[in-house]
Structures are given as structure tokens and as C-alpha cells.
Amino acid sequence: MQLNKFVFLLSWLLMLSLKAMPETGEHLWLRYATLPQDIQSEYVSFSKVYFLDDGDTEKVALEELSLAFKGLIGVDVRLQNKPAKSKLLMGKKLHQIVNIPGLEEALRKCGDDGFAIQSVDFKGTKKIVVSANTDAGILYGTFALIRLMQTGQTLDSVNIVEQPKYEFRLLNHWDNLDGTVERGYAGRSIWWNREASFEALKQQYLTYARANASIGINGAVLNNVNADPKVLSGDYIRQFARIADVLRPYHIKVYMSVNFSSPAILGRLPDSDPLKEEVQQWWNNKVKEIYDAIPDFGGFLVKANSEGQPGPQDFGRSHADGANMLARALEPYGGIVMWRAFVYSPSGDDRAKQAYKEFVPLDGRFHKNVIVQVKNGPVDFQPREPFSPLFGALKNTSLMVEFQITQEYLGFSDHLAFLAPLQKECLDSDTFVDGGGSTVARVTDGSLFQQEHSAIAGVANIGRDTNWTGHHFAQANWYAFGRLAWNHALKAEDIAREWIEMTFTNNPQFVDPVLNIMMRSREAVVNYMTPLGLHHLMGWNHHYGPEPWTEIEGARPDWLPRYYHKASETGIGFDRSQSGSNAVEQYAEPLRSMFNNPQTCPENLLLWFHHLPWDYRMSSGTTLWDDLCYHYYKGVDEVKLMQAMWDRLRGMIDQERFEHVQRKLKIQAREARWWRDACLLYFQTFSKMPIPYELERPEHDLEELMKLKFDMTNHN
Ligand code: BDP
């Protein structure tokens, strides 16, 4: 064995013994656990730091740097009063006080939030420079430098110049004021109805702020989109204000979800018609009250005329009328309105077409501080959907994409599903609205249509659980969302790798197999839940396990799985082609024709767009039925493989997290079989075809599965 390999292994063995300490996951990817000796040595000299600025944001950046040096390499940061004495120079526009070749030019590419990290030669000595145009840039640059150290990168010839792709990078908390979280699987709300004093909660909020700042998140909507009007009362405004005070140094603004009927419910006006002056005045006064308490308040998020929520249509007004009224109230203070396009009201037409039909006629009619917030797919956060056709169709409106980080339809916090591949799939989708290369990323980041604002939002998976997200691996989805919001061009693998290294260990014998597990996890879920473009096969109210059979008298048809899969003796799938609901028409050519024809439609979306006979021949030559079976069985096999790979990693990380993940994988493996059997056995009652002989027999009995009553209380 080569000597350096031997030294490397030895240092890992040493690390291993130190690392076997129990860990709870509470420090997320900011654990700053001691790095192996050989990685440490390069960084030691950089602890001599010259830090130019001393605003609140710089203070927290310096604190973070100190924590990182102490944890990663066991040294204190030694502040120097002269640049010449230091090895690490940090501060805004450093070129104005020290001659740093190329820095001024680099900072021109950084915009407001970006930063430059460069290694420069000062008369024969190497120094690292972290600079930016703003306080925020310094904060982000600091975290980026720390990440380089956490992931063991050499700083020898570093030259990084970054600027985020999106202006607003937000988490949406679906937290109710009573402390429950809608579709949250990691305990109750960290914000609302807490028993502990605010002082006691501060530590938790600071970790939240640090974690978000470390990935570039710059805003958080603190309450559920199904908003309680009470949130606009003086008492809640005060509560928002004190949270805003804690988050401010970390450059995170607070936003509020508001209920459109607030003027009537809270203000006791006769109604909330957006064209009435008294209603407008009510909002103007409310907004002033908010900004008096929170001078940098971010703005409102609104779910209107959707799933029973009130909205401007209640008064015969349009989404634009409603959004613009709020936008005008916020404009003098620099606030924004994020107006959701997730509209879903009873109608005879295909649910997947609704948002497009309501919003396309309004293109160009929204005020400039309105951003229309569109879910990634046309229906609802399914394990796989095509991208929403609104992307690209609204050319004169600021448009943002909303992803779900919380795993409402992907096994809650019980299943390991790394979601960066799902998000990348959407962001990289070509809409073709302005020729090839018109990706969803470019349609939303302002580079294609130069909209006024660019933004991206993720529905948070955070709760009071000690590890924040229920499943340790669900932390990766919070992390990955932030990294993609900063730079949608990053690769899912690269994001996963850095997360693993920071969260667990840099040991390649652990990192490589875990990366493998993560990268196959989302497709595994798609395969055992909803392959080939199927969707909504879950229990209609709890959204956890499979219930493709559900029938409820009097329920809205589009609540029920049968509306979506349409399985019958003649076949399966939702016909959205020209001979069906014609949802394909909402896509630009050549996608429209491609989706319209089952022969050219991507097979992973086949049953999203087509209803096909059970003996339809897939491109592989097998029948649709057999192919469906293969996908379900593959999903189960993949989880088995993930489990086996994880089991081999025992001893490489702390036992606590190892066993926790092991338990979760066991649940996932069991439930993958549950999904497979429930869906296949039920569909078989229509297909009347056998499960291919080479596959093992289902474990369950359909009648038994149909009798199962899912208990939500175990899962919240
Ligand atoms: C659905 C959720 C529901 C949300 C809704 C939304 O089931 O709880 O209120 O999305 O996004 O997926 O408004």
C-alpha cells in the first residue's frame, strides 16, 4: 500500500473512534465535526483572519467562522488588525483598501447577494480573500468557504465567483397558529403555540437561521397558505416581529400567508371586495401596521379561490384584481405578493388544465411586485408529474416555481426519497416556448423573459423533532432545495455528496454507497407508488398509503384516485391527448405532439397523458400490464438494495443515526411491498392478466388490504 494511502486510512480509523459519539441530527449539516488530520493541516494557517466590517450580519458571519475553525480543526480564529498579518481576508469591497488584482471585476459579477472567494498571491504568500458587495454576500461567502473546508477541498488555487440565480429563495411553512403543521411529519410547528419562552426558543431559531443562511435561503413564510385571518391581528404581528429580529442578521426576511377575507372577518367590513375603497384602505392600514413593527417585512403569500379558500372571484373579480390590490398596499415599502396559481375548484374539466385556463388570460395584468407562484406540476406534488404548462405560457408575469420539500406524497418522513432529482427534472425541462433551451429554470430565473422578479419556494419539512425533519435523510431535501434555489445548474449528485460529507463523514467508504442510495431513492418511490405516469393512488385524505379503490358517495370526483387512474376492463390511464381532455394543447410544440402520441410520449409519463389497453405494447415489446408489474417490483427491489447497502455501513457513523435510518428503511421496505401489492392486485381485477411468472407472488391479500384503516396519529 502506498504510504499516503496508509496515512489516510490510519487517520480515518482514528476519526472513527472519535466519531462513534451519539448524534441526534440537531446540528444538521453544520456539525463541524473534526476533520481528518491530513485534511486539517491545509486550513490551520487560515485561522489568522482580517475581518473588515462589523455590522450585525458580519458579526454572525465571524461567529460562524470561529465555530467552524474550532470544530473542524480545533483552532481559534485569531483576528488580525492589519491585512498584511492575516492569511484570510474578509470584507465588503476589499479592493478599496487592499490591492487585490481582479477583485473589483469579480465583484461586478456578484450582484447583491453574491460573493467572491479567491486565493491570491501577496508578495509570495498565499492568502484567501472572501469579498462581496453587501453584508449578505459576506455571510454567504463565509458559509461557502466553510463548506469548502467541511468537504475537504483544497484552498490552494480557489477562484469562485457566485451570484444566486433567484432573487427570492423562500421556505413556505404550512404551520397553523394552533401549532399543528399541515402535511408536516416532523412534529409540531417550531413557530406557533409554543410553551417555552421566546428566550428559550431562540437557540433553535438561531440554528434554523444559520442552516438557511448556509444554503442561501433569504425568506420564510411563517404560516400556512390555508391562512387564519387572526395572523393579521396585533398580537401575531408582534410575534412575527420578534422572529424577524432573530432572523434579520442572517438576511432572512419573514413573510405572511394571508386570508383574502381578512377585511370582513378581522376588520368586520361588509365584505372583502378588492375593488372597494374601504377594503383597499383596510389593507393599506394593515400593511402600515406590519411595517411599523417589521421594517424589512417581505410580503404576502396568498392562496385564493382554491380548495374552498376565499378570493377575489367571490366578488366577480379576477386573480389580478386581488393580487394587485395587495401589491399596491405593499409597494411603498418594497414588499411583494406571491399569488398562488394552485387553483382547484370543482369543474367538469380535467383538473390538470385549471391553472392554465385561469391564469393565461391574465398574463401581463399583474402589478410589478406580484409573482405568480406555480407548483412544479399541473396537479399536485406527485412523485412524478410533467412540468406545469404555465411555465413559459406566462411571458409577461413574474413567475416562480413551488416545490414540496415535505414528503406529503412520497412516504412522509418514513421513506428515504432524495428530491433534488425531482426538482432538477422540472427545472431542466424544456418548455420550448421560445425555441429549444427554454427550460423551466430559465423561464423562472428571469433570463428568458426578463421579468421584474425571480423567485423559488419550497414547502418546508421542518418541525419540532430534534433532528428537525423526522427522517435524517429528509434534512437533505431541505439542504438540496436551498442549494438549487441558489444555483439551479448544480448537479443533484454534487449536492448529495456535499450534504453527506457535512452531515455524516468524509470517509469515501461511507460517502459513495450513501450517494448511490440517495440517487436511486426517488425513482424507487415512483416505481413502487406511481410508475409510468400514474398519480394520486394514495388514500384521498391522509395521502400516505395506497387506496386506488376508494369510492365515497357524494365526494368530489377529483378527490378520488379513480378520477386519475381510470382503470377499467379496457385499460388504465388519464387520456389527456387530443381525443381526451386535450391538456396536451397547453404545451408548446414539439412537446404537444410528442405528449399527444403514445408512441412518442416519454414512457415515464405515459399514463399521465394516455388511457391505454392492458395489452398495449411498450417500446420494449412487453405488454403494458407486464411493464407495470416490472416497475412495481423494481421499486420494491430498489428499496431492498438500499437497505442492504445501508446495513453494510454499520460502525462508520454514530450508532444512533445509523439505527434510526435502519429502522426507517425497514418501514419503507415493508411499505413498498404494501404499495406494490395493493396497486397491482387491484388493477389486476380489471386487467385479468397474471403477474409475470418470474416475479415472486404478492405478499398480501387484496381484500385484507382494502379493509386496512390507516391511522394518521402514528405518522404525525
Ligand atoms: C395539497 C395539500 C393541501 C394543501 C394544498 C395547497 O394536500 O394540504 O393545502 O396542497 O398546496 O397538496 O394549498
The rounded Å distance from CA 226 to ligand 1 centre is 8
- Between 9 and 696, the more confident residue is 696
381 Cβ below 6 A of ligand 1: yes
Rounded Cα–Cα distance for residues 100 and 32 (Å): 30
With cut-offs at 50, 70 and 90, classify the pLDDT of residue 712: low
Cell of 486: 441558489
59 Cβ below 6 A of ligand 1: no
Active site residue: 54, 112, 307, 349, which one? 307
303 Cβ below 6 A of ligand 1: yes
Does the pLDDT at position 9 exceed 80? no
Q: Check whether residue 17 and residue 68 sit in a common domain.
A: yes
Does the pLDDT at position 97 exceed 80? yes
**Domain interval for residue 338:** 168-494
CATH number of 669's domain: 3.90.1330.10
Q: Check whether residue 300 and residue 392 sit in a common domain.
A: yes
36 falls within a domain? yes
| Cβ-count burial 630-665 (b if 16+ within 10 Å, e if not) | bbbbbbbbbbbebbebbeebeebbbebbbebbeebb
Residue nearest to atom 12 of ligand 1 (CA): 380
In whole numbers, what is the pLDDT of the chain averaged over residues?
A: 95
504 falls within a domain? no
Query: pLDDT tens digit string along 381-394?
Result: 999 999 999 999 99
Q: Do strands 219-221 and 168-172 pair parallel, antiparallel, or not at all (unpaired)?
A: parallel
Q: Check whether residue 190 and residue 254 sit in a common domain.
A: yes
Handedness of CA 583, 545, 305, 364 (dihedral sign): negative
Which residue from 638, 402, 396, 650 is spatially nearest to 531, judged by alpha carbons?
A: 638
Which residues does residue 371 pair with via DSSP β-bridges, in sequence order?
338, 398
Does the pLDDT at position 18 exceed 50? no
Q: Check whether residue 238 and residue 126 sit in a common domain.
A: no
Rounded Cα–Cα distance for residues 59 and 666 (Å): 44
Q: Check whether residue 444 and residue 553 sit in a common domain.
A: no
C-alpha atoms less than 13 angstroms from C-alpha of 516 in its C-beta half-sphere: 15
What does the pLDDT read at residue 136?
97
With pLDDT > 70 as the criterion, what percentage of the chain qualifies? 96
Q: Check whether residue 483 and residue 448 sit in a common domain.
A: yes
The rounded Å distance from CA 308 to ligand 1 centre is 11
586 falls within a domain? no
Rounded mean pLDDT, 560-564: 95
Query: pLDDT tens digit string along 658-705?
Result: 999 999 999 999 999 999 999 999 999 999 999 999 999 999 999 999
Rounded mean pLDDT, 454-480: 98
Does the pLDDT at position 15 exceed 60? no
Rounded Cα–Cα distance for residues 69 and 244 (Å): 28
Q: Per the structure, how many domains does the chain have? A: 3
Rounded mean pLDDT, 303-330: 97
Catalytic residue status for 380:
yes
The rounded Å distance from CA 384 to ligand 1 centre is 16
Residue nearest to atom 11 of ligand 1 (CA): 342
180 Cβ below 6 A of ligand 1: no
510 falls within a domain? no
Cell of 496: 448529495
Catalytic residue status for 408:
yes
Cα torsion through 86, 91, 93, 95, rounded to 10: 0
226 Cβ below 6 A of ligand 1: yes
380 Cβ below 6 A of ligand 1: yes
Q: Do strands 455-459 and 398-404 pair parallel, antiparallel, or not at all (unpaired)?
A: parallel
Q: Check whether residue 146 and residue 173 sit in a common domain.
A: no
Query: pLDDT tens digit string along 239-258?
Result: 999 999 999 999 999 999 99
C-alpha atoms less than 13 angstroms from C-alpha of 468 in its C-beta half-sphere: 24
351 Cβ below 6 A of ligand 1: no
Does the pLDDT at position 3 exceed 50? no
With cut-offs at 50, 70 and 90, classify the pLDDT of residue 346: confident
Residue 431's Cα: distance from chain center in Å?
A: 21
The rounded Å distance from CA 79 to ligand 1 centre is 49
Q: Check whether residue 263 and residue 344 sit in a common domain.
A: yes
483 Cβ below 6 A of ligand 1: no
CATH number of 69's domain: 3.30.379.10
Does the pLDDT at position 218 exceed 50? yes
Cα distances from 306 to residues 257, 300, 370, 707, in angstroms, run 14, 17, 18, 32
3-state secondary structure string across 445-501: CCCCCCCCCCEEEEECCCCCCCCCCCCHHHHHHHHHHHHHHHCCCCCHHHHHHHHHH
331 falls within a domain? yes
Query: pLDDT tens digit string along 602-632?
Result: 999 999 999 999 999 999 999 999 999 999 9
Does the pLDDT at position 216 exceed 90? yes
Q: Check whether residue 125 and residue 139 sit in a common domain.
A: yes
Query: pLDDT tens digit string along 432-443?
Result: 999 999 999 999
With pLDDT > 90 as the criterion, what percentage of the chain qualifies? 92
User: Where does a domain end: 162, 186, 212?
Assistant: 162
Q: Check whether residue 174 and residue 158 sit in a common domain.
A: no
The rounded Å distance from CA 544 to ligand 1 centre is 14
Rounded Cα–Cα distance for residues 300 and 259 (Å): 10
Select from 173, 174, 185 the residue to mutate for testing ligand 1; criterion: most ligand atoms less than 8 Å from CB: 174
CB within 8 A of 507, min separation 6: which ones? 12, 15, 16, 652
Rounded Cα–Cα distance for residues 544 and 541 (Å): 9
The rounded Å distance from CA 458 to ligand 1 centre is 13
Active site residue: 331, 380, 575, 627, which one? 380
Which atom of ligand 1 is found nearest the CA of 381? 12
Under DSSP, the state recorded for 313 is G
Which atom of ligand 1 is found nearest the CA of 459? 11
Give the helix, strand, coil percentages of the chain, each rounded to 5.
45, 10, 40
User: Where does a domain end: 109, 130, 162?
Assistant: 162
CATH number of 198's domain: 3.20.20.80
Q: Are 404 and 381 in contact (CB under 8 A)?
A: yes
Rounded Cα–Cα distance for residues 175 and 169 (Å): 18
The rounded Å distance from CA 709 to ligand 1 centre is 22
271 Cβ below 6 A of ligand 1: no
Q: Check whether residue 147 and residue 185 sit in a common domain.
A: no
Cα distances from 142 to residues 105, 207, 354, 497, in angstroms, run 20, 16, 44, 20
518 falls within a domain? no
Rounded Cα–Cα distance for residues 181 and 532 (Å): 31
The rounded Å distance from CA 307 to ligand 1 centre is 8
With cut-offs at 50, 70 and 90, classify the pLDDT of residue 33: very high
Cα torsion through 196, 199, 200, 202, rounded to 10: 110
16 falls within a domain? yes
Exposed (0-12), middle (13-18) or buried (19+): which is 2, by Cβ within 10 Å?
A: exposed
Does the pLDDT at position 104 exceed 90? yes
Which atom of ligand 1 is found nearest the CA of 303? 13
344 Cβ below 6 A of ligand 1: no
Which atom of ligand 1 is found nearest the CA of 543? 7
> Residue 612 region, left (φ>0) first, then alpha (ψ -120 to 50), else beta?
beta
Which atom of ligand 1 is found nearest the CA of 226? 9
C-alpha atoms less than 13 angstroms from C-alpha of 24 in its C-beta half-sphere: 7
Which atom of ligand 1 is found nearest the CA of 224? 9
Residue nearest to atom 13 of ligand 1 (CA): 225
Select from 173, 225, 544 the residue to mutate for testing ligand 1; criterion: most ligand atoms less than 8 Å from CB: 225
Residue nearest to atom 9 of ligand 1 (CA): 226
Q: Are 587 and 595 in contact (CB under 8 A)?
A: yes
Q: Which helix (H) or strand (E) holds 240?
A: helix 234-247
Q: Do strands 125-132 and 115-122 pair parallel, antiparallel, or not at all (unpaired)?
A: antiparallel
Which atom of ligand 1 is found nearest the CA of 225? 13
The rounded Å distance from CA 619 to ligand 1 centre is 36
What does the pLDDT read at residue 214?
98
Which residues does residue 120 pair with via DSSP β-bridges, in sequence order?
127
Residue 501's Cα: distance from chain center in Å?
A: 20
With cut-offs at 50, 70 and 90, classify the pLDDT of residue 124: confident
Rounded Cα–Cα distance for residues 548 and 538 (Å): 6
589 falls within a domain? no
User: Where does a domain end: 142, 162, 182?
Assistant: 162
Q: Are 65 and 146 in contact (CB under 8 A)?
A: yes
Beta-sheet strand order (sheet of 159-162): 78-79, 48-51, 88-92, 125-132, 115-122, 159-162
Q: Check whether residue 269 and residue 140 sit in a common domain.
A: no
With cut-offs at 50, 70 and 90, classify the pLDDT of residue 715: low
Query: pLDDT tens digit string along 347-384?
Result: 789 999 999 999 999 999 999 999 999 999 999 999 99
The rounded Å distance from CA 227 to ligand 1 centre is 12
61 Cβ below 6 A of ligand 1: no
342 Cβ below 6 A of ligand 1: yes
